[in-house]
Amino acid sequence: MNEEVLTEFNKQQFQQDLLSWYYQHKRDLPWRQDQDPYKVWVSEIMLQQTKVDTVIPYFYRFIDKYPTVYDLAAADEQEVLKAWEGLGYYSRAKNLQTAVREVVASYGGVVPANPKELGSLKGIGPYTRGAILSIAYNQPEPAVDGNVMRVISRILKIEEDIAKVKTRNIIEKEVREIISKDDPASFNQAIMDLGSSICTPKAPACTFCPIQEHCRAYADGVQDELPIKSKAKKQKKIPYIALLIKNENNEYVIEQRQDSGLLANLWQFPMVPIDEVGRKDLENWVFSEYGLKVKIKEHKGNLKHVFSHIIWQLEIYEAETINVASEDQRLRFVNIHEIKGYPFPVSHQKMMKYLSE
């Protein structure tokens, strides 16, 4: 026997150790009540780049409001966005509804059970495709997310940068090799559960790990060095003056953002990009941009809001205007009760504490 054989990966034992642990410790999550492909789908979209604890209340409300693909397909887009408010990455909501409408129109309301059709739907990439096929349809397909990349790169001691597409593909291929054919749904979810509770990014709890004896990183004492991941670049700061513009009826001006890009179609208080406009021309700019004659009043406070790629620095000012019949369909005057019906980004929800009757 050579050394290669001694360190060879014991697939059967690995599966058994992982799955027994999972059957004993799996969390009772709302999307694990049944295997309804639509519910699995909704949960997987919500869980993209988002923690389980954050998703749970959104998932309950969303499924309560849109229990089937038909309900979501028929829903009003703004209401869907309102249901998504605060969850972030709002294109997920738009893409989900687009895809659900496609399922109703082209697949008789049945979520496709094959990789090609499923993966062609808007918002369903390699991860979500694998997650739905394995969890809802019991197919032995990899579902490689951040957890899986971390766990597998440690288990197999893969020292490639997991930020690279190539590495993701390597890991997907490895998972295809070692996935349980008997219970692929549990296998994929087991690795994700393990990644969130034991095989954590920092200080993994290797002493409690059910697959410790299969872990090459642990064997070599390098579990804290893996996975290797290149750093994201620093966010650029963008200063704005945000305006709480009130008219004589105690209504505030809100505007709808454009239908693509950052926070697409959400509503906000008018913001002036200071770097482009300058402070001197502020009121002129507001008039040219919105057709509103405003008078800047009191400085109410400052707000910093961090996105994944930029940072907004908001200076908040109160302002006054007179009611005008604006041509701009994306502009509205609303009172502090009506405002609650519009989907707002968190940054502007924080500004609402400065509103007054």
Which 8-state DSSP code applies to residue 73? H
Distance CA 176, CA 188 (A): 11
Question: Which is catalytic among the residues 3, 44, 79, 85?
Answer: 44
Counting contacts by CB under 7 A, is residue 28 touching DNA?
no
Residues 6+ apart with CB under 8 A from 19: 180, 183, 186, 187, 190
**Site string (33-62) toward DNA, x via CB under 7 A:** ----------xx--xxxxxxxx--------
**Site string (291-330) toward DNA, x via CB under 7 A:** --------------xxxxxx--------------------
Least distance to DNA, CB of residue 236, Å: 8
Q: Is 77 a catalytic residue?
A: no
* Long-range contacts from 165-168, C-beta under 8 angstroms, 24+ separation: 168/126, 168/144
Least distance to DNA, CB of residue 83, Å: 13
- Token pair, residue 92, equals 């997920």
Q: Do residues 260 and 245 make contact, with C-beta atoms less than 8 angstroms apart?
A: no
Site for DNA (CB under 7 A): which residue of 166, 181, 279, 299? 166
- Token pair, residue 43, equals 């949960």
Select the span of 208-216, 256-264, 272-280, 330-338 touching DNA (CB under 7 A): 256-264
Q: Which helix (H) or strand (E) holds 243?
A: strand 236-246
Q: Which C-beta is closer to DNA: that of 132 or that of 294? A: 132
Q: Which of residues 109-148 bind DNA (CB under 7 A)?
A: 122-129, 131, 145-147
Counting contacts by CB under 7 A, is residue 95 touching DNA?
yes
200: helix, coil or strand?
coil
List, in sequence order, every residue forming a beta bridge with 256; answer none if it has no partner.
267
Least distance to DNA, CB of residue 304, Å: 8
Nearest Cα to Cα of residue 222 among 198, 195, 197, 204: 204
Residues annotated catalytic, as ranges: 44
List contacts with DNA (CB under 7 A). Answer: 29, 43-44, 47-54, 86-91, 95, 122-129, 131, 145-147, 149-150, 164-166, 189, 192-193, 195-196, 201-202, 229, 231-234, 261-264, 305-310, 345-347
